[in-house]
Amino acid sequence: MCIRDRVVFARGYDLLERRVQPVSPGLMEAIAAIPELREHDTARSARSGLVALPEDPMLVASRPVVSSDFDGPIQGTLILGRYADGTLAARSGDLLERTVTALRWEDAPGEVQAALAGAGGLYVRPVSDMLLEAYARVNDITGRPVLALRTELSREAHAAKLILEQTLVVSLLVAGLVFGTVVMLLLRYSVLSRVASLEDEVRGIAESGDARRRVALRGNDELAGLAGSVNVMLAALEASREALRDSEETSRALMDATLDSAFLATRDGTLVAVNEAGARRLGMNREEITGATLRDLFPPALAESRMAKLEEAFRTGRPVRFEDRRGDIHFDVTYYPVANAEGQIDRLAIFAHDITDMRKAEEELRESRARYRDLVQSVNSIVLRWDLNGIITFMNEYGQRFFGWTWQELVGRPVVGTIVPETDSSGNDLRGLITDLLQDPEKYVANENENIRKNGERVWISWSNRPVFDDNGALILSLIHISEPTRPY
């Protein structure tokens, strides 16, 4: 198709009968109805997927028509398609090593369609105690379901589970009848009293909250082992508390190490932590800030705007960044969502960076650029800038009037052929002069050569060249100042 969506060439081919055939009218209607198949933003754009057709779904691929090295502009669209017949299910079956059948979406049972409509696109249901039926949804290129793939899975694990359950039930009944009486007697005379003692000691530790205490129970049996496990748990709890204290101290040290204001807030805007820089900027101490809400610390309008940003970060789960200004001080503020151990976002880390100096520098840079622009545009000389390929990137208004070109006409055009002829009136090679100038600009600090205006009039101009280098000393562009014509043509 051309860029105006007009079909330039269309042909179908039957792979089985090896003959040319007309393109399916359904495919042409689908192409007209799906702009994603016709429109491409870049030369390397590519789109593919299934398209539902009246006869069968079709696998299609769309690429822009460009040169072989992917240079623009895009000249049209190439669309290829192949019917997704039984080969799609067969190939899926080969990968899964199972028999897979493909059903058109409208032919799938209603229960299956409703189950596959979920985000997962998969549905499994039991057929019997020995067999499962699995379905997978296949969407077309627009995201609408077009096929349902079906396969069967054996329930070997379920059958083994049933046998194991029956065996376990019988075994437990037999064991219970044999050992029930003996166990009850042993529990009564040798276990229950020791369990009660162990319970009393554990309760005493829990009430005291002292993880350094240990339980004492003599013996080499399971209860003694349990007491040992309780002591191991208490030691681990003590170590965990110590690690938590170290972690809190480390986190506080890291927060205080930055010059930015740092806060930790819950969803209702309560601040649960603040660093020294943040406390200083608010003019309060940490104890006054901790436990307070944003509404307690800021005026109502400002507090509500901050709560809106906080709610946005919790809702989206992504950082929210904005700029804040308090008097003459500018802050770059970022709200970072913080997830708990379950992966749920329950807090926000708030950082405020003072960017006042940066904003002042930007304003000074804008003013400097404005002064430079006014100077260049007001000077009664030609000011020209070009790149290393000899392409004009800038010319001031005086130069535009002198050569008779507008800004839109000049920018992007080569110097040679626009304001410098290929050769001067004496036959000298000016293209070679320009090429040599680009390779060795310092050789041509000042020069005089013949130039040409838009109307074809030739003029001699004396010009000076100043090369511009990057930080590595590589030439990046030439800035040329050209004076008035030196002599008439």
Please give the C-alpha separations between residue 25 and each of 22, 30, 147, in angstroms, as whole numbers: 8, 9, 21
Question: What residues contact residue 404 under an 8 Å CB cut-off, 6+ apart?
Answer: 453, 454, 455
**Nearest Cα to 297, choosing from 328, 339, 342, 261?**
261
List pLDDT tens digits, range 316-356.
Answer: 989 998 888 777 778 888 998 988 878 888 888 888 888 87
Q: How is residue 397 written in tokens?
A: 């208004």
In this model, does residue 15 exceed pLDDT 80?
Answer: no
- CA-CA distance, 132 to 114, in Å (whole number)? 18
State mean pLDDT over 105-124. Answer: 80
Average pLDDT over residues 110-118: 81
Amino acid letter at 44?
R
Residue 152 near residue 134 (C-beta atoms within 8 A): yes
pLDDT score, position 489 = 44
For tokens 């199972």, the residue is 98
> What's the CA gap between 153 and 138, in Å, rounded?
19
- pLDDT tens for 266-319 read 989 899 888 888 888 888 888 888 889 988 888 888 889 889 989 999 999 899
Mean pLDDT, range 109-123, rounded to an integer: 79
Q: What number of H helices and E strands is found in the chain? A: 14, 19
Report the pLDDT averaged over residues 82-105.
73
Domain 379-487 sits in CATH at 3.30.450.20
Domain boundaries, the chain: 12-84, 97-154, 165-251, 258-355, 379-487
CB 382 within 8 A of CB 462: no
Amino acid in position 320: V
d(CA 393, CA 414): 9
Helices assigned H by DSSP within 40-121: 86-96, 110-116
The CATH number of 258-355 is 3.30.450.20
Predicted confidence band of residue 27 (pLDDT cuts 50, 70, 90): confident
Which residue has better confidence, 158 or 319? 319
118-122, 321-325, 474-478: least confidently modelled range: 474-478
